[in-house]
């Protein structure tokens, strides 16, 4: 079997595979229903995209300092956040570009360029044109084909085919994971690219890698597809759990603010800022919200008193505050 043509013969659909197809469709529908309650601008959507980006990066770079991401965003430390922001931007760019899926090679190259923006210039692998273009064209036809396979199965096929094609020096695996997510968006299985697919693949990294290697050797694709459908089920459940936990946390903190009678427009703005940036500093708050230092300090002190945020440096100057419960939801693994 050609590694760049995962399916040369029909997939054998046994009872287990049919069951997994039905279950994955059910889980995706439940997740889609919850996401329908959110607007694209909701901080939860951004939060989930960042989390998916972090987990995807950890698959290929296990030592990447993802825990510093939110500190980096407020300019308190290094520049590793650029890699995560690029991944998030690539997902969002892909979401826009899938309106014209017939030009899928352009979508792939655009996603890859976004992943490497300001990081890895010239990372497209120099493969002879007569080898690369037919394979990419096969993949383009696979993506845009109107075939009868269920969408979750097609996502599994496209993910594997691109990963095995491996056309780039860097980020072929990341691009494959993004393409699978975008296919589910294109087929209207999900409204936003927030499925926590990479988190589950990271947990199953050994099996994930082994099954891709099996496909290279021409082993049957059913094992890969069943694995992938289970992963979609687990990813859907994990994403839904995260959303529920964030809703619950937001309700709890709104209740505290109301019952303690310190609710105000400024306080609600501050809470909404925490949902976007769960690590903050005093200068960041004054800059983002236009508060003076006294007002910002007063609100921060109230949130500290209620244990909604906590200070993490132990210093009297240049302090950092974290929305700990929010970050705990980010870090949890189902």
In-domain check, residue 230: yes
The pLDDT value given to residue 331: 78
Look at residue 92 and tell me if it is in a domain: yes
pLDDT at site 334: 58
**Same domain for 264 and 116:** no
Q: What is the mean pLDDT of residues 94-120?
A: 82
Question: pTM for this one?
Answer: 0.88
Q: Terminal CA-to-CA distance of the chain, rounded, Å?
A: 36
For residue 6, tell me if it sits in a domain: no
* In-domain check, residue 252: no
pLDDT tens digits for 216-272? 887 778 999 999 999 999 999 999 999 999 999 999 999 999 998 888 999 999 999
> Which one is predicted more confidently, 80 or 321?
321
Q: Say if residue 79 is in the same domain as residue 188.
A: yes
Average pLDDT over residues 106-126: 74
Q: Does the residue 253 lie in any domain? A: no
HEC profile of 94-158: HHHHHHHHHHHHHHHHHHHHHHCCCCCCCCECCCCHHHHHHHHHHHHHHHHCCCCCCHHHHHHHH
- Domain match, 209 and 88 both: yes
What is the span of the domain harbouring residue 211? 15-244
pLDDT for residue 205 is more than 90: yes
Asked if residue 275 and residue 312 are part of one domain, the reply reads yes
Among 218, 244, 270, identify where a domain stops: 244
- State pLDDT tens for residues 181-194: 999 999 999 999 99
The three-state (H, E, C) secondary structure of the chain, written as one string: CCCCCCCCCCCCCCHHHHHHHHHHHHHHHHHHHHHCCCCCCCHHHHHHHHHHHHHHHHHHCCCCCHHHHHHHHCCCCCCCHHHHHHHHHHHHHHHHHHHHHHHHHHHHHHHHHHHCCCCCCCCECCCCHHHHHHHHHHHHHHHHCCCCCCHHHHHHHHHHHHHHHCCECCCHHHHHHHHHHHHHHHCCCCCCCCCCHHHHHHHCHHHHHHHHHHHHCCCCCHHHHHHHHHHHHHHHHHHHHHHHHHHHHHHHHHHHHHHCCCCCHHHHHHHHHHHHCCEEEHHHHHHHHCCCHHHHHHHHHHHHHCCCCEECCCCCCCCEEECHHHHHHHHCCC
Q: What is the mean pLDDT of residues 317-333?
A: 88
Residue 250 located in a structural domain: no
Give residue 3's pLDDT band: very low, low, confident or very high (50, 70, 90): very low
Whose tokens are 């997994």? That residue is 20
| 89 and 198 share one domain | yes
What's the CATH number where 309 sits? 1.10.10.10
Give a yes or no: residue 113 inside a domain. yes
The structure tokens listed for 152 are 């979750």
Residues 169 and 41 in one domain: yes
Among 19-33, 116-130, 316-330, the range with the most confident prediction by mean pLDDT is: 19-33
Tell me: do 124 and 183 sit in the same domain. yes
Tell me: do 293 and 205 sit in the same domain.
no
Tell whether 202 and 265 lie within a shared domain: no
Q: How confident is the model at residue 217, as a pLDDT?
A: 84
Lowest pLDDT segment from 31-35, 97-101, 148-152, 220-224: 97-101
Mean of pLDDT over the chain: 86
Q: Within this chain, do residues 205 and 308 fall inside the same structural domain, yes or no?
A: no
Q: What is the CATH number of the domain that holds 202?
A: 1.10.3290.10
The answer to whether residue 7 is domain-embedded is: no
Q: How many domains does the chain have?
A: 2
**pLDDT computed for residue 235 by the predictor:** 97
């Amino acid at each position: 079997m050609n590694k760049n043509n995962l399916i040369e013969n029909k997939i054998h659909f046994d009872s287990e595979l049919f069951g997994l197809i039905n279950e994955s469709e059910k889980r995706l529908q439940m997740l889609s229903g919850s996401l329908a309650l959110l607007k694209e601008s909701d901080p939860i959507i951004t939060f989930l995209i960042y989390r998916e980006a972090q987990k995807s990066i950890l698959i290929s770079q296990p030592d990447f300092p993802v825990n510093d991401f939110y500190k980096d965003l407020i300019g308190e430390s290094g520049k590793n956040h650029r890699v995560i922001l690029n991944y998030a931007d690539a997902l969002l760019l892909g979401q826009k570009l899938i309106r014209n899926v017939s030009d899928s090679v352009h979508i792939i190259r655009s996603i890859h360029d976004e992943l490497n923006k300001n990081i890895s210039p010239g990372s497209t692998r120099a493969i002879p044109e007569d080898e690369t273009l037919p394979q990419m064209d096969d993949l383009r036809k696979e993506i845009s084909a109107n075939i009868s396979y269920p969408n979750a199965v097609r996502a599994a096929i496209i993910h594997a085919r691109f990963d095995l094609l491996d056309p780039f020096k860097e980020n072929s695996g990341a691009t494959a994971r993004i393409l699978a997510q975008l296919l589910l968006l294109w087929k209207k299985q999900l409204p936003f690219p927030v499925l926590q697919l990479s988190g589950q693949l990271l947990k199953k990294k050994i099996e994930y890698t082994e099954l891709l290697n099996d496909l290279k050797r021409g082993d049957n694709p059913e094992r890969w597809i069943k694995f992938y459908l289970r992963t979609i089920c687990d990813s859907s459940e994990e994403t839904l759990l995260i959303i529920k936990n964030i809703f619950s946390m937001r309700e709890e903190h709104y209740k505290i603010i109301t019952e303690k009678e310190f609710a105000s427009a400024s306080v609600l703005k501050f809470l909404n800022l925490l949902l976007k940036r769960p690590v903050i500093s005093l200068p960041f708050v004054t800059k983002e919200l236009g508060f003076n230092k006294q007002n910002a300090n007063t609100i921060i002190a109230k949130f500290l008193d209620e244990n909604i945020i906590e200070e993490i440096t132990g210093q009297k100057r240049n302090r950092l505050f974290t929305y700990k419960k929010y970050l705990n939801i980010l870090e949890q693994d189902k």
